[in-house]
Amino acid sequence: MVRDLIGTLARIGLAAVWLISGGLKVADPEQTYVAIQAYDVLPTGIAGAVAAALPFVEIALGILLLAGLGTRLVAAASLVLLAAFIAGVAQAWARGLSIDCGCFGGGGAVASAETRYPQEIARDLGFVLLAGWLVIRPRTLFALDGRLGPARAPVLGAEGGT
Amino acid sequence: MGGAKRAERRRRQRALAADQTSRPAAKQSSRRAAKRGAGGGRRGVVVALVVLALLAAAVVGGVLWQRSRSGPGPAQATPVTAEYPVALTDGVVVAGKDSARVTVDIYEDFLCPACGAFEKRDGAAIDDALAAGTARVRYHIVNILDDLSNPPGYSTDAANAALCAADAGQFPSYHASLYGKQPREGGRGYTDDQLVQLGRDLGITAASFESCVRSGSHDDAVRDQEQAATSSQALQRSYPDGRRGFATPTIVVDGKLIEIGDSASWLTDAIAAAG
């Protein structure tokens, strides 16, 4: 029961992360594009597609987590996305680029004294913990997964019936 | 990829069901569990497909939504009465009388917000000095922000169009118009149609203007200017962390790079100092 509660908090928390992050990006698509370009790692054509799709992917992940549908799969997808973000920040840090990560709105070139690479990576690792918990133990309260049937295949949603 | 995942899952479920049925101790309940497992497995596949479909829809929807977003709208014609000679030489627009005592080099990019702010603040003062013959200005339009428009390339297109306008004798108005209503960084810039329309709105009737804009006749000259500016040591500025680089706007007065400060006094001071 306690573990179900922890899982539920992780699920809601991760949902909030994606909904806020995605929502801020949708609100300022130009800033999102500038932020992605500042990482100087994606070719420009792909950067445009990523800037267009990323906000909606984040919102979709957030909605699915909030509803508790396919929790394990969505948490796994979240891990993949978080890994990409951490890699992006790490390479910017290693190359000495001076950018704000742009994860929660904002983003682009800033004075190097204002960069916060270690904090940004630490925060993303925190989110990785939430997503990791849900991949290992996707069973949570108030989730659609639990209402879709007594037995769930262990590869997706919550495990087992009772 | 989807098919392989599904097949894998089905194999795993069949193995699980077989496992449960082979244990003699819990045969009855395990048979029931096997039935439930198979049904739940299928439901799991459906859920997985729904999730993947939703994510795919998010990607497609995002790209379509972004394509459909309107750009800055049509450019706004801001005519400027320029009572001074303007000539285009080697990709540089030279404005003002040759007899002027102060020479100012301005390096700008049409997408650069700081350049837009600079023009809004000091454009009138520069125009006055040009008309009075106290200063001569050389505009070096560069395209360092080419990748920051979405789709990329607006900096080059705008620079080219401005030089085409210089060919047609309308550079000051065209320049003021592009900065007066400036597209946002990270957004869509003006299209070729809009750049041509702006020229027409400002009174350019020559047929060669449209072909100059659409074919990018001055693109190479713009790139040469950009190359020269970014590789020039004299034009680089130091950032607080010790890095050095070229950025826009860069203002050079009589060969010396200056900081433009809080007002147009950099210009009036230079003119006063020249006596």
Q: Locate the chain A residue with the closest alpha carbon to B34.
A: A151
- A70 and B33 within 8 Å at the Cβ level: the answer is no
Q: Quick one: pLDDT at residue A39? A: 86
pLDDT digits (tens, 9 = 90+) for B220-264: 999 999 999 999 988 888 766 667 788 888 999 999 998 888 888
Distance CA B121, CA B141 (A): 18
Count CB-CB contacts under 10 A for residue B23: 9
**What stretch of H or E contains B256?**
strand B256-258
pLDDT digits (tens, 9 = 90+) for A91-135: 988 888 766 554 554 455 565 556 788 999 999 999 999 999 999
pTM: 0.79
pLDDT exceeds 80 at position B204 = yes
Q: Where does the pLDDT of residue A160 fall: very low under 50, low under 70, confident under 90, or very high at 90 and above?
A: very low
Residues 6+ apart with CB under 8 A from B205: none
- Pairing relation of β-strands B256-258 and A99-100? unpaired
pLDDT exceeds 90 at position A161 = no
User: Which tokens go with B114?
Assistant: 């700081």
Q: Quick one: pLDDT at residue A153? A: 46
pLDDT exceeds 60 at position A162 = no
- B152 and A98 within 8 Å at the Cβ level: the answer is no
Q: Quick one: pLDDT at residue B78? A: 92
pLDDT digits (tens, 9 = 90+) for A14-70: 999 999 999 999 999 998 998 898 888 899 889 989 999 999 999 999 999 999 999
What was the ipTM of the complex prediction?
0.78
B10 and chain A: CB distance < 8 Å anywhere? no
- A148 and B36 within 8 Å at the Cβ level: the answer is no
Min distance A121 CA to chain B CA atoms (Å): 22
Span B91-111, mean pLDDT? 94
- B36 and A150 within 8 Å at the Cβ level: the answer is yes
Span B155-176, mean pLDDT? 96
Tell the burial category of B125 from Cβ atoms under 10 Å away from its Cβ (0-12, 13-18, 19+).
middle
DSSP string, B102-164: EEEEEEE-TT-HHHHHHHHHHHHHHHHHHHHTSEEEEEEE--TTGGGSSSS-HHHHHHHHHHH
Strand partners, B135: B102
Min distance A149 CA to chain B CA atoms (Å): 7
In chain B, what residues touch A32 (CB-CB under 8 Å)?
186
In chain A, what residues touch B54 (CB-CB under 8 Å)?
60, 63-64
Span B104-131, mean pLDDT? 93
User: Which tokens go with A73?
Assistant: 């799969």
- B37 and A151 within 8 Å at the Cβ level: the answer is yes
- B243 and A112 within 8 Å at the Cβ level: the answer is yes
Residues 6+ apart with CB under 8 A from B273: none
